[in-house]
């Protein structure tokens, strides 16, 4: 029985050697020249390059954002479109007749500000457009005195 165990062990080793030989024979041989391993990477230089790339990307993105904002605020007349006054009038803004009621004043301001946002009006034009809509009630006597130069 001892010989049987030894014989089974020899057969197992022979089978294993044959499998290894077959695997070596079946493995494809490398074709072409064998390249040397790549040089070691200097991670400090790599990280500096990465930081520079991120900074450049952030700068470019900020410049593009500023350009988009400038285009959004540019007056339409530069492109042959309607003037800011024409766009404002098309929105049918309410006029302010000098009412002393605080609620009416606030309501007028809200409506005018809504129109300013809709037409993307810049601050410089808001004063002109809002003034255009003012219709102050002046006492005729006070107005006549003002025109005559009396105070």
Chain segment 78-87, per-residue pLDDT in tens: 556 888 989 9
User: Quick check: is 89 in a domain?
Assistant: yes
Query: Domain range for residue 117?
Result: 77-151
User: Quick check: is 57 in a domain?
Assistant: no
In 36-150, which ranges are continuous DSSP H helix?
43-73, 84-90, 102-118, 123-132, 140-148
Residues of the chain with pLDDT under 50: 1-5, 76-77, 137-147, 151
User: Quick check: is 105 in a domain?
Assistant: yes
Residue whose entry in the numeric block shows the structure tokens 């007749």 = 97
Chain segment 101-126, per-residue pLDDT in tens: 888 888 888 999 999 999 999 988 88
Q: What is the pLDDT of residue 51?
A: 87
User: Quick check: is 143 in a domain?
Assistant: yes
């Amino acid at each position: 029985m001892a010989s049987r165990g030894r014989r089974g062990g020899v057969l197992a080793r022979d089978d294993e050697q044959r499998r290894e030989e077959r695997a070596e024979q079946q493995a494809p041989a490398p074709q072409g020249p064998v390249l040397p391993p790549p040089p070691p990477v200097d991670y400090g230089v790599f990280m500096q390059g990465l930081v520079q790339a991120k900074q450049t990307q952030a700068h470019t993105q900020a410049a593009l954002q500023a350009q988009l904002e400038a285009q959004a605020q540019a007056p339409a007349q530069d492109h042959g479109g309607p003037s800011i006054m024409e766009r404002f009038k098309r929105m049918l803004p309410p006029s302010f007749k000098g009412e002393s009621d605080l609620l009416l004043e606030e309501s007028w301001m809200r409506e005018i500000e809504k129109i300013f946002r809709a037409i993307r009006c810049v601050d410089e034009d808001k004063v002109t457009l809002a003034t255009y809509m003012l219709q102050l009630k002046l006492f005729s006597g006070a107005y006549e005195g003002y025109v005559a130069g009396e105070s």
